[in-house]
A and B are shown apart, each in its own frame.
Chain A
């Protein structure tokens, strides 16, 4: 019988690193990351140049508030909007607001969804039933009337710009976590009865440790594949809210309320530069997220 000297093999243990070839990113993931990178670059770098005032106040020489759409020129790269504000800079600032809005909402929804879904899925039984009933209740609430109600209440108290955004975020994520909670609960139910969870239990680990260390690593890929789609959805919803005037208000820019210009048929006919760049940017960003989601899905299926 061979016998291995323990010192020798302890050193081996220290040195050896497991070498598994990591698969390269597929095309969809690559393009998605590239597009998202450019959008983020635009959104981060452009506002750093010293043109901050242009997004909120008039710049034309007359100084009046009549309808003035300036066509694209060297002074204003993409022209100006109805109040003479530079569209290029508003795009960048609005992108900041919109992207931050979506990131915060998705993260807080994930947080709530993870907590509620994990508790419901892992404990099961009575608690599970009650939590899922609550989830269904939240699912029943119609979204658009809710946002109209929120906007109405907010207008009464007249909060500041930043507070308005925070309140919108809170309302959105309080009523939007249900999808993640259901998904995570389902995935946990799938994993919970596997043999390795029973094995972890027999070595005396606590429930929280089992959920965090043994269940989450298994279900993470499935959830990561869903998150980008959710990003796209939240961003489109923000744009729709802005278009309806329920989201972020003038003079603060966001991609949603820049689409507001499209409500006027005269503008649609005569000044296409007022809304086409925003539409294109929204399209690029959502399709980047979509590509990321699809690419992640494909990669996971390959790994299986």
Chain B
């Protein structure tokens, strides 16, 4: 398997009025060709910051350290890679289109830039083909963004980034405003796309669908990836207490499930350097958890928890 995207000790911190706010904390992760990775976690844990880190559209008050490597070359200037190599689907479909320009011109622009020898007929056919995949009609293209609903805009956004045929798709909550049938369709198309040798990174709150469609799942908490495993394995046998809590929170129809008492409490800043950030919410904590030294993990799959520290197979 070929390594395509690699995070090396990557961290991001925002300078705010109250002080430094660490969004992404020393992530080490390798992503291979054909991977379909779902990143899950609570809101504010740094998922979207990770996307801005990949896209390079970093705000001015943000400090970045560490590296992201694409095809074994560092992404210092990500503008070169955006579009044809790495395509990013933005989080908010309502604001992602220019309100003064028709959809046709906006979706056409990417094709014009990356496939300059394509004729207009070919471009239209390609657009029509990809829109058709997401159950959209062609007359959508003749409209202004304010004439369309949020779900349609979301699907146009996905289609317009897929029609560039990128090596990596990074989708930031692409299914947030879609119906259930469309969610299934979109995630399924991503799965087929990943199986054909490309890579998809999916960021989502929809845990059940993430486990169902993705091949690997990364669980984020407080800017760290606490557990990274194949999805089936993780769903059957979650190991980190936070992953266990997340999975136990899934709604079940017939059972009266007990919820673990993990929902209250917040992240404390002193645990960013050493110790577990989940310390004061964890039901299984020990005394050493608050102060143990975190070694960087370079394994293919890992659990970042003191309870599993001795195990080398993970």
Contacts from A to B (Cβ < 8 Å): 1-2, 4, 6, 9-10, 12-14, 16-18, 20, 194-196, 198-206, 209, 213-214, 217-218
A279 vs B88: C-alpha distance when bound (angstroms): 61
A10 vs B142: C-alpha distance when bound (angstroms): 12
Q: Which residues of B contact A10 (CB under 8 A)?
A: 124-125, 128, 138
Q: How many Cβ-Cβ contacts under 8 Å join chain A to chain B?
A: 100
Contact of B83 among A6, A194, A203 (CB under 8 A): A203
- Supply 16 A–B pairs (Cβ within 8 Å), ascending by A: A2-B135, A9-B128, A9-B138, A10-B125, A13-B141, A16-B142, A17-B142, A195-B96, A198-B90, A200-B109, A202-B57, A202-B82, A203-B110, A204-B84, A204-B114, A217-B98
A4 vs B139: C-alpha distance when bound (angstroms): 13
Contact of A214 among B57, B98, B129, B181 (CB under 8 A): B98
Query: Interface SS of chain A: helix, strand, loop or mixed?
Result: helix
Q: Which residues of B contact A4 (CB under 8 A)?
A: 132, 135, 137
Using known A-B contacts A13-B128, A202-B55, determine if residue A217 contacts B139 with beta carbons closer than 8 Å: no
Considering the complex of A and B, which 6 residue pairs feature the smallest CB-CB distances, nearest first?
A: A204-B83, A13-B138, A195-B95, A203-B110, A202-B88, A199-B96
Shortest CB distance B165–A (Å): 13
What 1/0 mask marks residues of chain B from 76 to 117 whose CB sits below 8 Å from any chain A CB?
000100111001101010011111111001100110011000
B132 touching A209 by the CB < 8 A rule? Answer: no
Contact of A1 among B98, B144, B181 (CB under 8 A): B181
A205 vs B82: C-alpha distance when bound (angstroms): 9
A14 vs B121: C-alpha distance when bound (angstroms): 10
Shortest CB distance A192–B (Å): 12
Query: CB within 8 Å of A: which of B8-60?
Result: 55, 57
Shortest CB distance B58–A (Å): 11
**Nearest-neighbor residue (CB-CB) of A10 within chain B:** B128
A10 vs B125: C-alpha distance when bound (angstroms): 7
A218 touching B164 by the CB < 8 A rule? Answer: no
* Additional A-B contacts beyond A13-B128, A204-B83, A213-B109 (19; CB < 8 A): A1-B135, A2-B135, A6-B129, A6-B132, A9-B132, A13-B139, A20-B144, A195-B92, A196-B95, A196-B99, A201-B79, A202-B83, A202-B87, A203-B87, A203-B110, A203-B160, A204-B82, A204-B113, A214-B101
